[in-house]
Amino acid sequence: MSEEYEVHGPHDHAVEHAASGHGHGEHGGAGERDPFPGRMAVMTAILASIGAILAYQSGNSENLALYYKNEAAIHKTEAANQWAYYSSKGEKENLAELGASLAALSPNAAEAQRHFAADADRYRQQKEPIRAKAEALEKQVQADDERAEKLLHGHHRWAQATTLIQISIALTAITLLTRRKWLLRTSVGVGALGVVMGALAFFGP
């Protein structure tokens, strides 16, 4: 499941206006270019790039988690089938052993007992590979489930980081319009927190 990351802010017209060279400095004349909108545009571009990476990682992590969940379900079904097969072999072994016991009452007891004993031994030998395969599949189910949970945990962190970057971009747009320094500091702080969350998602368990 892919995610798109688009940035649309109310500061677009102001940035275009500043880029065209019609801005006014706070202390200069009409010919001076105001660097503030340009700086905010650069900051927005950087945040948008970081946000796009985080959003991609979030979607990729979620897709992998769903993949391993699906693999776990498939292997679980296969393991159940193997245990059913193992059980059927055990039942046949029990019937062969019962047949060997009852064969003692027949006229040719020795030959019948050998026949049933051979069948019981064959079923007993056939059971072991089936049991080993079923246990291996169960271990694979556990490994797939653990990996899926780890990826989902990472997906949540990637999503939180993406949300923080989006908030930072919105605050940058408001900063461009209001020129409030505290808003700029808040935007930088929220953006930095988003980067930290992204780092935790990347390096975390």
Angstrom distance (rounded) from CA 10 to CA 17: 13
| CATH code: domain of residue 80 | 1.10.287
User: Does residue 27 sit within a domain?
Assistant: no
User: Does residue 4 sit within a domain?
Assistant: no
Q: What is the pLDDT along the chain (205 residues), one digit of tens a residue?
A: 444 445 444 444 444 544 454 444 444 444 467 788 888 889 999 999 999 999 999 999 999 999 999 999 999 999 999 999 999 988 988 888 888 777 766 666 677 778 778 888 888 888 899 999 999 999 999 999 999 999 999 999 999 999 999 999 999 989 888 888 898 899 999 999 999 999 988 887 6
User: Does residue 102 sit within a domain?
Assistant: yes
Query: Which domain does 165 fall in, by range?
Result: 35-203
pLDDT score of 11: 45
Mapping DSSP to helix (H, G, I), strand (E, B) and coil, where does residue 21 land? coil
Angstrom distance (rounded) from CA 42 to CA 2: 26
pLDDT score of 112: 72
Q: Considering only CA atoms, which of 164, 161, 166 is closest in space to residue 197? A: 161
pLDDT score of 9: 47
pLDDT score of 145: 94
pLDDT score of 165: 94
User: Does residue 43 sit within a domain?
Assistant: yes
Helix (H) or strand (E) holding 26: none
pLDDT score of 16: 52
User: Does residue 20 sit within a domain?
Assistant: no
| Alpha-carbon dihedral angle through residues 120, 122, 126, 128, given to the nearest 10 degrees | 70
User: Does residue 25 sit within a domain?
Assistant: no
> How many domains, the chain?
1
Residue type (1 letter), 15: V
Residue 125, token pair as written in the block:
């030998």
